[in-house]
Amino acid sequence: MLSVLTFLPLVGAVVVLLAPSDSLKRWLAFGATIATFVVSLLLLPGWQEIPDMQFVERYEWMPGSNIHYHLGVDGISLWLVLLTTLLMPIAVAFSNQHVKQNLGGFLALMLMMETAVLGVFLALDLVLFYVFWEFSLIPMAFLIGKWGSENRVYAAIKFFLYTLAGSALMLVAILALYFHGGTFDLLALQEAGLPPGLQQLAFLAFALAFAIKVPLFPFHTWLPDAHVEAPTAGSVILAGVLLKLGTYGFLRFALPLFPVAVSNYASLISVLAIVGILYGALVALAQRDLKSLVAYSSVAHMGFIVLGIFALNEQGISGAVLQMVNHGLSTGALFLMVGMLYERRHTRLMEDYGGLWASVPVFCFFFLVVAMSSAGLPGLNGFVGEFAILLGTYKSSPVFAVLGTSGVILAAWYLLHAFRQVAQGKLTNPANFKDKLPDLNWGEIGQLLPLVLLFFAIGLAPNFLLDKINPSVAALEVVQTPMVVEERYADHSSLPTFTSVNNPQTTVD
């Protein structure tokens, strides 16, 4: 099932490129993303709330180098997979309406990117993971460079070089792990354990790659350029999914493989996360461009997720996983709405608007709900994740929790400021009058409605997600007492066993 899920979009990309007409390309691309979403939903009926990898597939790929095609999904990756397969048809539906130049190439790149991202979330072999990780750069760089705004080429090159530089060091660390352990298999390396000295060096290499992708301050400077210049669908996927590859990397690889190093560097990374939260929020307050404001808000919100991860306890990490999903939904919706507004007026400056509630009330209603979700209003999804992160952070460091809370207050400030400038006040600009500025059509409402419904569903019933997240988080060594970690690396005689629920033959020997 995981192979079908991963490569179905890639097959769709090939079919789209071969289709003879743009109208057929639109339907084929949308159909491929819907089919992928349906396949991802099939993971839920047979799901077991246990920490082990499920739906595991493991085959020899390059036996001479002990490299395997190894896929699996657990509570940490499950909802990120579903987030990806949900956002992609929404982004494709928007693109079908508004992309006019070389539509087939655009849609094929979007589908290729979906395969790359799903591969990252499902890969359990370090080489396979690295292949998907690097592959994800290519479609996004072309989407920005070809279909972006005025400075698109600069933004695409900056995005590519930043992420490639961090990935190169991660590749060196992957090779070091192989020469030490004789395998690229994540579960086998995790089971055997690594010497503390190797953990320190390998963690720094992995952490740099993940920090750039998040992006964590001070490696964030590529993000505003990429967001502002990217086409709307590219921004939705970049914010909704691609940024999560960094935080997911910390959870899937850094925490299980390098628990000693993680404990040593947790405070430093938490400080960088706090700086990112405050810096991103303050710079967002100063923005005049609505898309740029949302871009800097992503810096702040992703810092919040990193803060939860490096609280190193179950509440903080579970909240971070949930908040990854929440951020993908709310910030993806924000970028989608900015794109809808831009397609009507071809300006993103907030000063060019004002009083839009009088002319486009449906748009403003959705904009308000999405802004409140991003700000963490109780009853909506953002509040649940932020509260769990703050709970875990307070257990780890009350000072960090207080500073993180100030980021929540600033988020409400800049989001309400943006809403007031765009939607409230007197309608004075003739270009914004009702006869010249159409409200949302049914297709656009259909793109936003699933996201808004999920805001309320997750905000009111978060345990549906958390019940599947918590077992996998609780199994991480770093959420156990430091004594457990110290004893393990002093004496390797007691080691855990990882067995696939769906395929017991894949037990790591």
What is residue 424's three-state secondary structure? coil
The pLDDT assigned to 214 comes to 87
Q: Which residues does 433 contact at the CB level (< 8 Å), separation at least 6?
A: 359, 427
33 contacts 114 by C-beta, under 8 angstroms: yes
pLDDT of residue 150: 80
Q: Which two tokens stand for residue 197?
A: 């000295």
Q: Is the dihedral of CA 472, 184, 308, 266 positive or negative?
A: positive
What pLDDT was estimated at residue 502? Answer: 40
HSE-up of residue 435 (Cα within 13 Å, Cβ side): 1
Q: Are 389 and 279 in contact (CB under 8 A)?
A: no
Structure tokens at 84: 């990806």
Angle among Cα 381, 113, 151 to the nearest 5 degrees reads 90
User: Reduced to 3 states, what is the DSSP secondary structure of residue 346?
Assistant: coil
pLDDT tens for 254-286 read 999 998 898 889 899 999 999 999 999 999 998
3-state DSSP helix/strand/coil % of the chain, to nearest 5: 75, 5, 20
Which pLDDT score is estimated for 180?
87
Distance of alpha carbon 476 from alpha carbon 466, whole angstroms: 16
Closest residue by Cα to residue 499 from 475, 483, 469? 475
For residues 390 and 383, what is the distance between their CA atoms, to the nearest angstrom? 10
Quote the CA–CA distance of 107 and 89 in Å, as a whole number. Answer: 11
In angstroms, rounded to a whole number, what is the distance separating the alpha carbons of residues 143 and 354?
Answer: 31
Q: What are the start-end ranges of the H helices in 19-99?
A: 22-41, 75-98
State both tokens at 165: 């530089």
Q: Residue 489: its pLDDT value, please?
A: 53
Q: What is the pTM of this model?
A: 0.89
DSSP 289: B
Return averaged pLDDT per consecutive 10 residues of the chain, 509 residues in all: 94 92 91 95 90 90 87 93 95 89 91 95 94 91 86 86 85 91 88 86 91 86 83 89 92 90 90 93 90 89 92 91 93 92 87 88 93 91 91 90 90 92 86 85 92 94 92 81 50 39 39
How crowded is the C-beta side of 121, counted as CA atoms within 13 Å? Answer: 31
**C-alpha to C-alpha distance for 75 and 95, rounded to whole angstroms:** 31
Helix (H) or strand (E) holding 450: helix 442-460
pLDDT tens across 113-139, in order?
999 999 999 999 999 999 999 998 889
* SS3 assignment, position 118: helix
Residue 283 confidence (pLDDT): 92
Which of 301, 289, 277 minimizes the C-alpha distance to 225?
289
